[in-house]
Amino acid sequence: MSRPAGTLLLRDRTFVYFLLARTVAVLGSAITSVALPLLVFQVTASPLVTSLVTAVQVVPYLFFGLIAGAMADRFPRRRLMLSCQAVSAVALLSVPVASWVGELSAVHAVLVAAAIATSFVWFDAAAFGALPALVGREYVVPANSMIWSVTTLAGLGGPVIGGALVSVAGAAPALSFDAASYVVAGALLALIGRSFDAPGRARAESRGGLRAGIREGLEFVWRQPVVRSLTLLGVGNSITGGAVSALLVVYGVRELGLSEDGRGIGLLIAVTAAGAFLAALALPRLTDRVPIGWITIAALSANPVALLLTAVSPSHPWAIGPLLLWSFTNTLTVINGIAARQVVTPLDLQARVNTTARMLAWGGTPLGALAGGLLAEAAGARYAYALMSSAVLVSALLAWRSPLRSRTFGTVESPVG
């Protein structure tokens, strides 16, 4: 009798180190997800400026995604990932240092968020290609599911830990824990003995320069029907998601009456992490029984309903259920698209295709964050949430009229290299 894929993966030291590295980094980032927005909100008391923290975390993807994807398919991925971890650690450490000498400002905090996000673009591009190279294409879906499940568990506890750290030590000092997590994660990646690079690397390099590599990734995204459909429909999901994430601190403090000391906000962010965790657990079971197009249609359709219920929730306890459902459907849409892309994309195109698709799908996040911030400034976070649910509603309506309705959509894989 063959062993389950998850059991085989956990017997693979290479995958375990990769999984631990991602988990440690996510745990640190979850602490920052509480500390950094709270720090900016404490300094400025402005929903719009606070929403910039979310916006600048995605804008670098729009500027550098195509270049990073092409580079990650051509240069050593391990070296690229380790360099990104080092840059992020240094950037984060600058915040508690600036606070200690009395020079910390909201501008500094937003610039640090931008630096970390820019570094993440290259790390993400390399990681997309590294996973199939490390575990093999046949294990991509269970490996992704395990990574999402474990890292979202870290994301579930991280905000609670972050809230406690902010309450005890302050928002700025709490960021030093995230800096340390990048160092530990980098050390774990360095211990992996297997190559992070695809066997087709030499073939990819022979096809032309950087511009040709970018064009090849764009052409694949447009030609491949599974990748094209899921990517374009993800735009509405990202617009709404950008607004929700950017205003979560504002929504918790001003609409639900939570304290700014970090504890209540940490629990609220933990709810969104719990929704992501449940989505990661559900995806492998759903893909075994339900066509991938139907998964996306269902998730997109339930998402605006969940957000509207969140917007009208009168208190913290009432908001937990709708917010959990919103996070579940938002994450399910995202990871269903990622898993589908990694399965149908040739190994030597993984970084380019995945960064291109993510750049397009995530392109709405800064727009949603800024639009949500402006609406919250004018009328409050509840009104902003209610109105911004319309973006994902449009994607849901388009999905019902798209090829995703077909039971056979996405069942035929494109040729792999």
Q: Which domains does the chain have, with CATH numbers?
A: 1-193 (1.20.1250.20), 210-405 (1.20.1250.20)
- Checking if the pLDDT of 327 tops 80, the result is yes
Q: Residue 1: pLDDT above 50?
A: no
> What distance in Å separates the CA atoms of residue 352 and residue 221, rounded to the nearest whole number?
9
Between residues 95 and 355, the one the model is more confident about: 95
Helix (H, G, I), strand (E, B) or coil at 248: helix
Question: Do residues 300 and 236 lie in contact, with contact meaning Cβ atoms separated by under 8 Å?
Answer: yes
pTM surpassing 0.75? no
The burial of 7, by beta-carbon neighbours within 10 Å (0-12 exposed, 13-18 middle, 19 or more buried), is given as exposed
Helix, strand, coil shares of the chain, percent, nearest 5, are: 85, 0, 15
Confidence of residue 149 (pLDDT cuts 50, 70, 90): confident
Stretch among 7-16, 67-76, 154-163, 338-347 having the lowest mean pLDDT: 154-163
**What's residue 209's pLDDT?**
66
Let me know the angle formed at the C-alpha of 18 by 335 and 13, rounded to the nearest 5 degrees.
125
| Amino acid sitting at position 321 | G
What's the whole-number average pLDDT of the chain? 81
Percent of the chain, pLDDT > 70? 89
- pLDDT tens, position by position, 370-390: 898 899 988 889 999 999 999
Q: How confident is the model at residue 111 (pLDDT cuts 50, 70, 90)?
A: confident
In the predicted model, is pLDDT for residue 66 greater than 80? Answer: no
